[in-house]
Each structure stands twice: as structure tokens, then as C-alpha cells.
Amino acid sequence: MKENLVLIGNGMAGMRTIEELLKLAPEKYNITVFGEEPYGNYNRIMLSPVLANEKTIDEIMLNDEQWYKDNGIGLLKGIEATEIDRVNRDVVGSDGTRVPYDRLIIATGSTSFMLPLPGADKYGVIGFRDIVDVDTMVEASQQFKKAVVIGGGLLGLEAANGLMKQGMDVTVVHLMDSLMERQLDKPAAAMLKKSLEERGMNFLLEHVTDEILDEERVTGLRFKNGEEIDTDLVVMAVGIKPNFTLAQESGLHCERGIVVNDTMQTFDPNIYAVGECVQHRGTTYGLVAPLFEQAKVAANHLAEYGIGRYEGTVTSTKLKVTGIDLFSAGDFTGDETTDELVFQDKATGTYKKLIVKDNRILGSVLYGDTVDGTWYFQLMKEGTDISAFRNTILFGQAHLGDSGHGEETRVAAMPDDAEICGCNGVCKGNIVKAITDDKLFTLDDVRSHTKASASCGSCTGLVESLLAHTVGGDYEEAPSKKPMCGCTSHTHEEVRKGIFEQELKTMDAVRSYFGWTTPDGCPACRNALNYYLLSSWPIDYQDDPQSRFINERAHGNIQKDGTYSVVPRMFGGLCTPSDLRTIADVADKYEVPEMKVTGGQRIDMFGVKKENLPDMWKDLTDAGFVSGHAYGKAMRTVKTCVGDTWCRFGTQNSTGLGVKLEELTWGSWMPHKFKLAVSGCPRNCAEATIKDFGVVCVDSGYELHIGGNGGIKVRVTDLLCKVETEEEVLEYCGAFCQLYREDAHYLERTAPWVERVGLAKVKEAVVDDAEQRKALYERFKISQVEPQKDPWKNVADGNNTEEFTPIKLAG
């Protein structure tokens, strides 16, 4: 018969205990969870990115309500546990519910420490601990302009950054003369302060708040030195205090927290406690790594394995502010008995400091370049003698000679118990085991199986290196961790998200917001930014022709001899005698030395001189032709067969459908070249199964295929779905194109994009969710250019092709 287990507190520590217990003894207990908040279990340490608009509440959920149902766990959400009846072994809820227990876990966490200042109880003064606090801050940012954060520690700076991202003018008030004094020495703190000031954050250091000024709500602060500052919101982030009131009222022994032994038991052997509410060996913890270690030990004993012991944790710290890399661990100050190893490069914003005693690391501070933080931390925890590589240790593990060449080798050399993901407490051994046992090949697979890299993302590089090392040639490094270029540390995803969410509509605005290191960017990022802005704001953004490749600026493919090829569009490969005469006349007029029928069913005219391009295109457009975009990162061709119009095997009018698809998709800029095909029967003469979007006609309708590639690395398409009508083909095609346009990196073909994001994501958006599909289709139609319109009517006369008005394509 199952025993009853009750958990008080639906936070990270308590629920990690339940997760670990389910791995060891899934059938041992009937489990009930009291959760004071009306949500499932979410990642509290990711509230800062939520406030900064970098994550949503759904994205930081660790266990949604369905997870509790799937695991047979009773979740009493929105119900506070108000009494522990230790005599009858019951827990009483705020609604009067009584739940019996055989074993009880207390995981009530901590609360914000609120300074006992005059006015601290007024409206507009809050802490920063839960979703309600985030919602309050977001609401305030929509009504008011000025905010003050009291506390220049880790939590305070993250809150200040989030409020700044919400558009508020933020001032951080701090008692000490440097920021994050518990985690940083003064040089690193000074670099951090300078970087945050450049982003627009203000600081009042060595200021002691005396009073919070108020009328109906907070209006300002007065300091001990007599200064005053106006504000509409005050966030207190001066620390946390363990929440052990309920345990104390039940008669459990408490000091600064609920006192527990090495098995996480309280003085009542039937009651365990984990997390920020506990005191272990005289220490309380406020970081996530110790909480997860405690959870594993508690689960071990609740499962009656009885072999786990918690002996304390050496902690490390990372700041969750996008674009600022900071790592701190252990004793970073040292004394007269220790040595300081320091590397500093102000030009690149890099600072590294190790505190060493007897050739063993006691602590570290890293700013700017934190890639070796995990390695230093592991050396510190293990007490490794570094004398053999002390001279090069500041240059990182990649400089250990034959034992290390790059991050892949570096992470491979770590022991299995090295922590890779601090947010979720995932070690290297667990990740490697999941990759091997569950046959994982992508970053998303690892995230879903282990939660590593699923939170703040700072360990993504390490996880990808583990993937590369473990599965070898079967893994292709995902571009997610790579910065766009040398001008920025931000990835394509971060930039695209920022452009949309912050409504950045010029390249200058993007470079300013993300802190580009070069004022005008470089050829790589200018082209990418031009596309991202064009695809995000097709109406508001003006295409920049100078931020395009020469082919797109000249409207022709440059050849090896410096001449160009010109390709007029022939919709579906159809043409008339008049069309052919026009092309022949133009070829004669401009002395085209060679013509070729292309694989995409068009006529390509080679050897055209650059100075002839404007006049040649004018003659073609006057005759009704438009560009075939053989030069563009755009829709190129729609290849068709003759279908049931002429072929005895044809099942549908593939040529007619091909023309409709071409009319739908032509004139739309894409992340890369994009090709379509429609085959009139399963014999697939148009090679639809190696195109970006392919249609195979069958008797009962149309098979839709995506993500094919016929180039050097051939990739056969994935079957998206089957539809019955041409109208559905057009809608699904438009929706797929728009999803690709909005999600893929610039210069990423559909084949690697589908492999990176997964077919399931595409199907979810295009096939499963009809509402999202229709919304994508409507957004895509904004990019249409009517075939009868003349996109070349503004082509400049004369020989200066750099003055071409580019073909007017929407995003």
C-alpha cells in the first residue's frame, strides 16, 4: 500500500525533490503538493529574463499542470499550507483542506527582505521574488517612468536591467562603494558598472536610504546625507530571508532557518526540509545549485535507499543580463597567505582573477570571457594541484597543449560530476548518459530530456560541445551560440527577437540597442540586419541597397569574367512566341554571347556587360517581363511538369498550380535562395522532393514536402502533410514560407533550418494550429508583388548600376 507524501511549497527545491524521487521510487507514495501561487512549478531564477522581455512565463515553466496529472500528483494550487499537525500528521490548507502524511517535505523557500524604512508599506514599494512582483513592475512601467532599485547585488542588477528593458529610467541605490561586492572584486565591479552605465543605468553608490517619500503612492527617496530623488517605483533587492514561520509554529527546531541534518531531516524524523528555508551546518543558501543537491539527497532517503549525504556546497554566480558575461566563485579576495593571478585587457573588456594558495584555486572572478568558469570551478571544488599549468591557466583550458584543443576537448576532459547547467543542476555525466541512452542528436533534444541549457542559456556552448564530442560526425554544430559577426556577441535569435520586441526599425537603432562594437557594422551583419529589418517591418523599413550582395545590387549574377547573366521570370516555365521573340530581340540588341535554358525552366542570358544592365532590364520590363531573381536571397523558381494537361500519367494540373505558387511567392525576400516544384504525379519528374517546398500531385489531392536540397549536400524533403485542394496548397505554402522567413538565420537554407528547429515545430505551426497557419499566411501575403506590376519602372537610366532602385519587395 502506498504511503502519503505531502510537499509544502511548489518551488524549485521541493519539486526537484519530487522529480528525483519519481526516478528512484515512482510507485512508493501518493503525492500531494501545496502551492501558494496559482501556477505550476516555474524557474524562479529566470524571472529576470521574463522582466527583460527575453522569456515568457510559459517558457520558464518547469512542470505545467499536465505534468502533475501525468504523474498522478495532486496539486493544490493557490492554497497556502497554514498548519502542520504533527500529532495527527496532517497538513491544513488555507481553504480548510486537511491532507494526511506519512512523510512531509517543507520547501517554503524565502521572502524578500524589506528594509524597515518609513514609507516602506506604501503602494509602489515591492520586492522581487515571484511572478506577481514581475507583473507589478511591468504594469508600473506602462504607467510611470522612473524606478529605483535599492541594492546593487545580483538580484538588484537583474531587476534594474529588466525595468530598463521595460522603458523605465532606472537608478540603482547601493550602500557599498562597488557593485556585487559579495561576488566581485573592485576591478571587475568597476568594469560591470561602466558597461551598465553605457546601457543607460544610473547609480548612487555609498548612499543610505533614510525615508521613502509618498503621497498616495511612492514619490521619491530621501537619503541620510539629505539628498532626494524622485521615483514612481521602488524595488527592494537587498537580500532574502528564509521563510520558516510555518515550521517554527509547528514546533520544529529553527535558528536562521529550519535546522536539518546531512540527510535533510528535521528534528522530526518524518519531516524533511530542502531549499532556501533550511539551515544546514550553520549555513543557509540562496542559490540554486545547493538546493538541487539537497533535493537529490532528500529523495534518496525518501526512497529508502539511505546512502545520500549532503555536506554543503561551494557556490558560483552568474549575472543574467544579456550581453554581460560574468562569473564568480569561492573566495575572490584572498589574504596575505594567498596569491593573485590576474589577466586584464580593458580594450576588450576582459578580466580574469584567480585566488591561489599552495597551487590550489580558492576562488575566481571572470568578466567578459567566462568560458573557462566551469573549469576553474571544478578545479576549485576538487582541490586540483595546478602547478603543472599555472603559467598558462589564465589563458584557459584550450592552452594546455596536447590535452586541450578548443572547447570540445575542454568539456570532454571534465569529470562526470562537473556541473554544466547551474540553473537546473545538471552534471556532465547525466547529459552524456542521456545523449547515449536516448540517442539524442540536437540541442533541443538535450534540453527536453535533461533541462540543460533550457533556462538562461549561458551553458549552451558547453552542451553543444558535449554533443559534438559524444556523437561525433552525427552532430552538426548548431548556429544558435554563434554571434552574428565580430561586431557583436549577440546571436541571430537575440537580434531578431530584439528587433521585433523593442520595435527597432533602423540599423542604427539595432546597433545602438545591442551595443555594436563598430558604429557602421561589417558586410556580414549589415546584410543580415537589412533582411531582418525588412522581414520584421515590411511597411516601415526602407530597404538599403548598399546592404546587399553585388548580385542583388546589380540585378544579375556576376560571372567569373566580370560580366553578368540576366534571367527574366517565366511563370511556371510557360512562355509564348511573343515572349521568345522579345528575349531574342533583347539578346541581339545587347550582343548576348550565350543563352541557356536553365533547370528552373527559364532562359539565362550570359555575358551581359554591367553598363548594359539598366537599359536591358528596361527593355524587358517594357515588354512585360519581371526579374527571375536568379541573383537574390529570394524565391528563385517553381519547377513544374506538364501534369494532366498533356501527360498520360498526370493526376492534377501541376503547371497551373505551379504558376499560382510562383505568383504567390515571387518578389519575397528570404533568408536564402528558395526553390519550389510541382510534380503532376508520384513519378516526380519536377523533382519536388529535393526542393525547399515541393508538391507531389496524387489522385486524392496533394502531398506537401519541405526542407529539401539538391546541392552539394543532397537532402530529401520531409513530408509535411497531405491536402485536398489547391487553395490549401497555397495557404500551407505561404504559412511555411513565412515561418521560415521569421525564424531562420540569414543565409540559412530550409534544409539545415528544418534540421535545427525540428520537423515537429514546423508541423505544430503550419499543420496542427489552423489559427497560427492562417496568421502566418496573412503575414506572408504582405510580401506579394502583383506580376502585372512593373517593379523596374524606377530603374535609373545611364550606366551607374549602383544607383539602381532595387526591385520593390516587401519583407
Question: What pLDDT shows up at residue 399?
Answer: 59
The highest-confidence range among 131-145, 416-430, 555-569, 621-635, by mean pLDDT, is 131-145
Please report the sign of the dihedral spanned by the C-alpha atoms of residue 704, residue 706, residue 711, residue 715.
negative
Query: How many whole angstroms separate alpha carbon 102 and alpha carbon 1?
Result: 12
Per DSSP, the three-state class of 276 is coil
- What's the average model confidence in pLDDT over 523-533? 86
pLDDT of residue 331: 84
Q: Would you say residue 788 has pLDDT above 60?
A: no
Encode pLDDT of 318-349 as tens digits: 666 656 778 888 888 888 899 999 998 877 78
- Closest Cα to residue 369, out of 259, 461, 503? 461
Which pLDDT score is estimated for 335? 86
Which residues fall within 8 angstroms of residue 454, CB to CB, at 6 or more apart? 421, 423, 424, 447, 448
- Mind listing the pLDDT tens digit for each residue in 615-632? 898 888 888 888 888 878
**Boundaries of every domain in the chain:** 3-110+242-302, 125-238, 492-547, 551-622, 635-781
Is position 685 annotated in a ligand binding site?
yes
Model pLDDT, residue 370 = 80
Q: Give residue-wise pLDDT tens across range 79-129.
A: 999 999 999 999 999 999 999 999 999 999 999 889 999 999 889 999 998
446 versus 225: the higher-pLDDT residue is 225
Q: Consult the annotation and say whether 681 binds a ligand.
A: yes
pLDDT of residue 712: 61
Q: Is 338 left (phi over 0), alpha (psi -120 to 50) or beta?
A: beta
Residue 641 in marked binding region? yes
- Cell numbers placing 410: 575542454
Is the pLDDT higher at 304 or at 347?
304
pLDDT in tens, 130-151: 999 999 999 999 999 999 999 9
Q: What CATH class has 125-238?
A: alpha beta
Among left, alpha and beta (phi > 0; psi -120 to 50; other), residue 474 is alpha
- Residue 277: what pLDDT? 96
Q: What is the C-alpha to C-alpha distance for residues 455 and 319, in angstroms, rounded to an integer?
A: 13
pLDDT band at residue 290 under the 50/70/90 scheme: confident
Q: What is the mean pLDDT of residues 584-593?
A: 90
CATH class of 3-110+242-302: alpha beta
What three-state secondary structure class fits 518? coil
- For residue 802, the model assigns a pLDDT of 35
Q: How far is CA 707 from CA 478, 712, 721, 730, 769, in A?
A: 17, 15, 13, 17, 20
Query: What is the pLDDT confidence band of residue 598, given thresholds at 50, 70 and 90?
Result: confident
Query: Which is it for strands 146-150 and 169-174: parallel, antiparallel or unpaired?
Result: parallel
Give exposure, 45-70, as e/b (b: 16+ Cβ within 10 Å). bbbbbbbbebbeeeebbbbeeebbee
Mean pLDDT of the chain: 85
**Fold topology of 635-781:** Sulfite Reductase Hemoprotein; domain 1 (3.30.413)
The CATH number of the domain covering residues in 551-622? 3.90.480.10
- Name the pairing type of β-strands 350-357 and 339-345: antiparallel
* Higher per-residue pLDDT: 522 or 584: 584
Predicted TM-score (pTM) of this structure: 0.55
Question: Residue 716, Cβ neighbours under 10 Å: how many?
Answer: 14
- Of 449, 458, 450, the closest CA to residue 424 belongs to 450
Give the helix ranges, DSSP H, for 330-393.
373-382
pLDDT digits (tens, 9 = 90+) for 4-46: 999 999 999 999 999 999 999 999 999 999 999 998 899 888 8
Collapsing DSSP states into helix, strand and coil, what is residue 742?
A: helix
Let me know if the fold of 3-110+242-302 is the same as that of 125-238: yes
**Three-state secondary structure call for residue 659:** helix
Q: Is the pLDDT of residue 798 over 70?
A: no
Which pLDDT does position 400 carry in this prediction?
57
Using 50, 70 and 90 to split pLDDT, how confident is the model at 404?
very low
**What secondary structure does DSSP assign to 687-724, as a single string?**
-GGGSSEEEEEETTEEEEEE--B-SSS-BPPEEEEEES
- Least confident range from 49-53, 273-277, 404-408, 514-518: namely 404-408
Mean pLDDT of 724-746: 93
**Cα–Cα distance measured from residue 144 to residue 166, given in angstroms and rounded to the nearest whole number:** 11
pLDDT digits (tens, 9 = 90+) for 230-247: 999 999 999 889 999 999
459 is in an annotated binding site: no
Task: Tell me the C-alpha distance between 260 and 243, whole Å.
Answer: 15
